[in-house]
Chains A and B, each alone.
Chain A
Amino acid sequence: MTDVLCLHPDDDVANVLGPVRAGDVLRGLPAGGVLTASGAAPRYHKIALRPLACGVPVRRNGIVIGVTTAAIAAGAHVHSHNLRSQRARMRVQDRAQDKDPS
Chain B
Amino acid sequence: MTSPNAPLNSPQMRGFVGARGAFGSRNHLLVLNATGLTEQIARRVAMAVPGAVMASFPYGMGVLGADAEAARRALVGLATHPNTGAVLLISGDRSRLEDIAAPLAANGTPFEALALDSAAHDALHLSALGIAAAARLRRAMSRRDRRPASLASLVVAMECGLSDPTSGIAANPLIGAVADRIIDAGGTVILGETLEWLGVEDHLAARARTPAIAQSIVDAVRRREHLAVANGIDLAGINPNRRNIEEGLTTIEEKASGSVAKSGTHPIEGVLAYGAPPTHPGLWLMDGPSYTPESLTGLIAAGAQVALFSTGSGNSYVSALCPTIKISANAGTLRALDTQIDFDASALMAAGSIASMAEALLAEVVATFNGALTWGEVTGEGNEVISRFGEAL
Given contacts A44-B248, A86-B253, contact A91 B229 (CB under 8 A): yes
Q: In the bound complex, how far is the Cα of B255 from the Cα of A88, in angstroms?
A: 14
Q: Can you name 20 A-B pairs with beta carbons within 8 Å?
A: A5-B169, A7-B169, A15-B169, A43-B248, A44-B165, A45-B248, A65-B199, A66-B250, A79-B248, A79-B250, A80-B245, A80-B250, A85-B251, A87-B253, A88-B198, A88-B233, A88-B235, A91-B229, A92-B229, A92-B234
Q: A61-B257, A87-B225 are known contacts; what are 15 more A-B pairs with Cβ within 8 Å?
A: A15-B169, A42-B248, A44-B164, A44-B330, A60-B254, A60-B257, A63-B200, A64-B199, A65-B250, A78-B250, A87-B252, A88-B228, A88-B233, A91-B230, A92-B232
B232 & A88 in contact (Cβ 8 Å cutoff): no
Q: Which of A56-102 contact B (CB under 8 A)?
A: 60-61, 63-66, 78-80, 83-92, 95
What band does the interface of chain A fall in when counting residues whose beta carbon is under 8 Å from B?
20 to 34
Q: Does B19 contact A (CB under 8 A)?
A: no
Secondary structure class of chain B's binding surface, majority of residues: helix
Which residues on the A side are within 8 Å of B203 (C-beta)? 63
Which residues on the B side are within 8 Å of A44 (C-beta)? 164-166, 247-248, 330
Interface residues of A (CB under 8 A from B): 5, 7, 15, 17, 42-46, 60-61, 63-66, 78-80, 83-92, 95
B251 & A66 in contact (Cβ 8 Å cutoff): yes
Which residues on the B side are within 8 Å of A90 (C-beta)? 229
Which residues on the B side are within 8 Å of A66 (C-beta)? 250-251, 253-254
A15 & B165 in contact (Cβ 8 Å cutoff): yes
B252 & A85 in contact (Cβ 8 Å cutoff): yes
Q: In the bound complex, how far is the Cα of B169 from the Cα of A15, in angstroms?
A: 9
Q: Does B392 contact A (CB under 8 A)?
A: no
B225 & A63 in contact (Cβ 8 Å cutoff): no
Which residues on the B side are within 8 Å of A45 (C-beta)? 165, 248
